[in-house]
Amino acid sequence: MITRLTPAQQRRQALRQILPKDFGGVLGILITAIIVGVALFAPLIAPYGIKEGSRRDAKLPPAWYEGGSTAHLLGTDVQGWDIYSRILHGARVSVTVGVFGVLLASIIGLTLGTLAAYFGGWVDMLVNAFVNVMLSIPYLVLVIVVATVFGRSLVNVILIFGITDSPVFIRLVRGEVLRLREQEFIQAAESLGAQTGRILGLHIMPNLIGILITLATFEMSAMIFYEAGLSFLGLSVPPDIPSWGNMVSAGRRFLITGGNSWIAVYPGLAIALTALGVNLLGDWLRDVFDPRSK
Amino acid sequence: MFRYFARRIIQSVFLILGVVFIVFFMIRINGDPVSLMISRDATMEQREAFRKAHGFDRPVSVQFADYLVRLSQGDLGNSLQYRLPASALIQQRLIPTFELAFSTLIFIAVFSIPLGILAGLYPNTPFDLIARFIALLGQTLPSFWLAMLLIFFVAVPIDILPTFGRDGFASLILPMIALGLGGVGQMLRLTRATVLEVRHENYIRTANAKGVSPRNIATRHILLNAALPLISVLGIQFTYLLGGSVYIETIFSWPGLGTLLEGAINNRDFPLVQAITFIIALFAISINLLTDLIYMLLDPRIREATG
């Protein structure tokens, strides 16, 4: 027997199906939302500007250390700048690089992947050659080397990640398009005379989008990770822009004495927390879009 | 089987050619390689002299042909900063880097495979929870940050383990942990998932029904079948380690390829950067080829299917 649900019940049921049932999913959404929120509103929440303070206040410890004060919750760096405020601002670099880098990589991936799958022949060969060669160089080395050739700017960093990460997307899209083309519903549409554009937009794209979003989430967390790594080596955004990697790197000079560890510790914690949140979000999305993986 | 061998080897040769192409054109993306390598306040004359001395005034096609010929003779170019052949510099650094990467690989395997198997055999027990927690840490802690934490909170207060340089086994411990934790996380997840998957295969059910003891099922049936995918992932791990060593080596002042690369980047020594990139990619490709071949030799299903 089919019981009819009222629209309100239907909505509630739909919502219940989308919302995560596990703790990890909730945590992932929560952390990711907080970090995006911080990135958007950093100037409003941060108690200090990114370059506010003088060297007289340099290397103040966090509030709960001896000699620390609540004026600088997580202490100050060598310039006397407030670490807590700079961490909040640092979310902007990470989120911008993550979002736009993944966006660029997915656009390249969708275009080249579909082209390769549909045209086959030498187009497919060229695209495949590009993908295989790029993937054969260890990613970190590839990014580091490309970054040395490009100058240090936010736009360049987005370009670097968008281009170097695109092979993963190309490979996924190509494989999925090839697989979908063999399915009955696409062949039915083709035999009904549907044009390629219509098939791609109406039949293939909707079936591709879930797995693409899942990959994009994982790649975003990877990009945030790698951006921090590039910053750490001084190859990402200029040193005066607060990025988490730049901030961790600023604490390197204290490694020998082992003092002032907070300068490096808390910005690194921000990277770890972001990676945790976005990864959990990705795990949950994978379960949502691909129930088999559970 | 022989045909598969041959195909994989030819494929790898093409990959290497592709890498050569990328490495060559990498420094020419912005149009003028000279502007990358020379300081900004060099005069016009100095620039032209540099261009002539390093052959950048020739047509690009001639330069590429020349690069290929030299490469095939084992000439990786000359370092600007050291004024020495890049191959000689790289040779000195290979052993330390491999020493670190290999010990880390062993650390990853020894640590994560047994724990991953336990977690897979007994899901939702304390073993499993510990394994999943460590896997999560491996996924979320950046290696360079972990390296610094280890120095700040382990090496400095306890003062037994050296924090920099390469001096015996003790100096390997901290770099190994920092470099390996990411791989441990990945390997733990994979081992656990593989064991979980194999557990539900039909042949395990058959073995159970035949009355094979649980211990025999675990060691002979589950582990043997789970071992193959793990071997190939360890191979891939190794190439990650070569990349990750750039951070870890610079933090711990480990005298390997990573510190050489960092120094070359900071000094805009692009010929050396090219040479190191090429060598690392070459190793990555060879190791991938090798793991594929080992995989094939060990797995009778593939061995027979490919004839």
Amino acid A240: pLDDT:
81
pLDDT at A83: 85
Asked if the Cβ–Cβ distance from B281 to A141 is below 8 Å, we say yes
Domain of A278 in residue numbering reads as 45-293
Flag if B18 and A132 touch (Cβ within 8 Å): yes
What letters, b where the CB count within 10 A reaches 16 and e where it falls short, cover A250-275? bbbebbeeeebbbbbbbbbbbbbebb
**Are residues B22 and A134, on separate chains, in Cβ contact within 8 Å?**
yes
Chain segment A215-231, per-residue pLDDT in tens: 999 999 999 989 998 99
The CATH T-level fold of domain B95-257 is MetI-like fold (1.10.3720)
Residue A180 resides in a domain: yes
Question: How far apart are alpha carbons A250 and A166 in whole angstroms?
Answer: 31
Q: Does A233 touch chain B (CB under 8 A)?
A: yes
Closest B-chain CA to A149: B27
pLDDT attached to residue B209: 86
Q: Look at B151 and A49; give whichever has higher pLDDT.
A: B151
CB-CB neighbors (< 8 A) of A276 in chain B = 136, 139-140
Q: Which of B21, B133, B145, B248 to mutate to probe the A interface, most A CBs <10 Å? A: B145
Q: Do B152 and A229 touch (CB under 8 A)?
A: no
User: Contact B151/A132, CB-based, under 8 Å?
Assistant: no
Residues of chain B in contact with residue A134, where contact means CB-CB under 8 angstroms, are: 22
pLDDT score at A37: 93
Query: What is the pLDDT averaged over residues B31-47?
Result: 80
**Inter-chain residue contact A275 with B19, CB threshold 8 Å:** no
Residue A1: predicted pLDDT: 47
Q: According to the model, what pLDDT value does residue B270 have? A: 87
Show Cβ contacts of residue B234 under 8 Å, excluding neighbours closer than 6 positions: B105, B108, B109, B187, B291
Inter-chain CB proximity A140 and B246 less than 8 Å? yes
Cβ-contact B198, B226 below 8 angstroms: yes
Domain count, chain A: 1
Question: Measured between CA atoms, how close is B2 to chain A, in angstroms?
Answer: 23
Contacts of B270 in chain A (CB under 8 A): 148
Angstrom distance (rounded) from CA B294 to CA B307: 16
- Where b means 16+ CB within 10 Å and e means fewer, A93-120 reads bbbbbbbbbbebbbebbbebbbbbbbee
Q: What is the pLDDT of residue B181?
A: 93
Model confidence at B74, pLDDT cuts 50, 70, 90, reads confident
Residues of A whose CB is below 8 A from B15 = 132-133, 136
Please indicate whether residue A52 or residue B24 has the higher confidence score (pLDDT). B24
CB contact under 8 A, A276 and B136: yes
Q: Is the per-residue pLDDT at B261 higher than 50?
A: yes
- Residue A12 forms part of a structural domain: no
Bigger pLDDT: A1 or B249? B249
* Vertex A35 angle, CA A32 and A37, to 5°: 105
Q: Which run of H or E residues covers position A176?
A: helix A154-181
Q: Percentage of residues in chain B with pLDDT exceeding 70?
A: 97
> Given CB atoms, is A23 within the 8 Å cutoff of chain B?
no
pLDDT at B307 over 50: no
Q: Distance (Å, rounded) from C-alpha A43 to C-alpha A31? A: 19
Kindly give the parts of chain A with pLDDT less than 70. 1-4, 14-21, 258, 291-294
Asked whether the beta carbons of residue B26 and residue A275 sit closer than 8 angstroms, the reply is no
CATH classification of the domain holding A223: 1.10.3720.10
Contact A255 B136 (CB under 8 A): no
Structural domain spans, chain B: 95-257
Q: Is A129 on the interface with B (CB under 8 A)?
A: yes
Average pLDDT over residues B8-13: 90
Q: Pick the more confident residue, B272 or B208.
A: B272
Q: What pLDDT, on the 0 to 100 scale, is given for residue A101?
A: 95
Output the pLDDT for position B42: 80
| Cβ neighbourhood burial of A86 (10 Å; 0-12, 13-18, 19+) | buried
Mean pLDDT for B78-84 is 87
CA distances from A252 to A234, A240, B154, B183 (A): 12, 16, 16, 24
Are A137 and B19 inside 8 Å of each other by CB? yes
A258 interfaces chain B, CB cutoff of 8 Å: yes
Identify the pLDDT of residue A294. Answer: 47
Which of B36, B139, B144 to substitute to test the interface with A, most A CBs within 10 Å?
B144
Q: Is residue A21 part of a domain?
A: no
If you search the block for the tokens 């047509």, which residue do you land on? B59
Which 3 state secondary structure label does DSSP give A243? Answer: coil
Task: Report how many Cβ contacts below 8 Å link chain A to chain B.
Answer: 123
